[in-house]
Structure 1
Amino acid sequence: MAINAQEMLDKYMEAEAAILLGKTTIFNGRTHTMAELPQIQAGRREWERRVSAQRAAHQGSPGYALADFR
């Protein structure tokens, strides 16, 4: 199964939102956060980069612009 970059980005954004809303679980009287926010944010940034690269490749854009300073 091919990984869809947009779907992965959406999942990372959902996970980040859940953590920011304080989603935790209590097991045996101890509170556990399901994932660490910095790790989720790093993953989100990676998938944002992949989505941008896929869009640029699909549109035939090199992903950057050239300036003309005449």
Structure 2
Amino acid sequence: MAAADPRIAPSPEIASAGTGTAEAAGKGHEAAALPALKSFLAYTVCEAGQEDLTDIHYAPLPVSMAARVRDVIQTLS
């Protein structure tokens, strides 16, 4: 694994990814962008989105994790 570039500070979303909260991903974004963000995230975890992602060599999420992500997306505001 390559060392992190010291010139680049981690984003809050990445730094707090392990906290288990949906708040980190939703803070600091413009309210007008939220519907598009939620739509994009929802597509990436739906069956068709997961299939498209595997076409470009991303590993699919386990079904239970995709369901949890869908639940969390609903709470973003």
**Common fold: TM-score over 0.5:** no
Q: Which has the larger radius of gyration?
A: 1
The two structures have a TM-score, normalised by structure 1, of 0.38
The two structures have a TM-score, normalised by structure 2, of 0.36
Higher helix share: 2
